[in-house]
Amino acid sequence: MLKKERQAYILHQVNLHNKVLSSVLSQEIHVSEDTIRRDLYELSEEGKLIKVHGGALSPSFGQVYYSPNTTYSRPQKTIIAKKAASLIKDGMFVLTSGGSTILELARALPPQLKATFITGSIPAILEYMNHPNIDVIVIGDKISKSSKITTGGEAINKIKQIRADLCFLGTNAIDLTNGITDSDWDVVQLKKSMIESSQKSVSLTISEKINTLQPIKICDVANIDVLITELPVDDPILKPYHESGIEIM
């Protein structure tokens, strides 16, 4: 098989499935993975596809590919995501906000998990769509470009009609006296109604945001049921939260 032919085949596959794996291509075409990698490199130089670890993506779908390793303090968020994922059981309805911690959660979901996720966060939707067994429900409204999430009365109405099992909040600031706070008015409204519409609310936050404050209040500490950080459950900084009745993970 000629090189050009091979590359044409690869492009065909990419445009067909929106993604390819070096390993399967190498088997299909019977050449070494090295050769595939070189082909992918050349094609990505020409802008015909986007090379990623393990394969390539179609350029039409992949522009907002959030390279996972550019996320701020990723290792901690990964730990948080794993703890959070363990709360989700098959068949649950889960509301999630936006934010990079939520994205990590989306990536940490075990492939066999069958659940329904409801969100207005576009990056989160993209992640959920990649999972084989997860249904995604989009909350519609106008998009706030800064937060890449749908916000507004429509979105809030829609959330109010929902009774979800769980709600995950990417949290920007939490302290005992002021509760959970944030800086974006629209996002705050959204999170408020998400908490109201869920049986159980879970706050995901990296430890550096504990005992910090933002201008707008979402809810009191008492309103959330679980607090997940990257720290061990018995870390002293978490003790006061535990004593005020929150489950720590």
Task: Provide the mask over 53-72, with x wherever binding to DNA is found by CB under 7 A and - wherever it is not.
Answer: xxx------------xx---
Interacting residue with a second copy among 30, 70, 90, 111 (CB under 8 A): 70
Q: Binding DNA by CB under 7 A: which of 9, 15, 38, 148?
A: 38
Q: What DSSP designation does 68 have?
A: G
**Those residues with Cβ within 8 angstroms of residue 150's Cβ, 6 or more apart along the chain or in another chain:** 120, 138, 139, 140, 141, 142, 143, 144
Asked if residue 220 binds DNA (CB under 7 A), the reply is no
Q: Which residues pair with 216 in a beta bridge?
A: 182
Interface with a second copy (CB under 8 A), residue from 36, 84, 123, 219: 123
- For residue 35, state whether it binds DNA (rule: CB under 7 A): yes
The answer to whether 104 contacts DNA (rule: CB under 7 A) is no
Buried b (16+ CB within 10 A) or exposed e, 101-131: bbbbbbbbbeeebebbbbbbbebbbbbbeeb
**Interface with a second copy (CB under 8 A), residue from 29, 79, 137, 216:** 137
Contact positions with a second copy (CB under 8 A) in 2-31: 2-5, 8, 11-12, 15-16, 19, 21
Give me Rg for the CA atoms of the chain.
21
The CA distance from 15 to 73, in Å, is 34
Shortest Cβ 103–a second copy spacing (Å): 5
Binding flags for a second copy, 83-112, as an x/- string (CB under 8 A): -----------------x--x---------
Task: Write 106-109 long-range contacts (CB < 8 A, 24+).
Answer: 106/131, 107/68, 107/81, 108/78, 108/81, 108/82, 108/84, 109/85, 109/134
| Residues at the site binding a second copy, with contacts judged by CB under 8 A | 2-5, 8, 11-12, 15-16, 19, 21, 50, 52-55, 57-58, 60-61, 63-67, 70-72, 100, 103, 120, 122-123, 125-127, 129-130, 135-143, 145, 148, 150, 154-155, 158
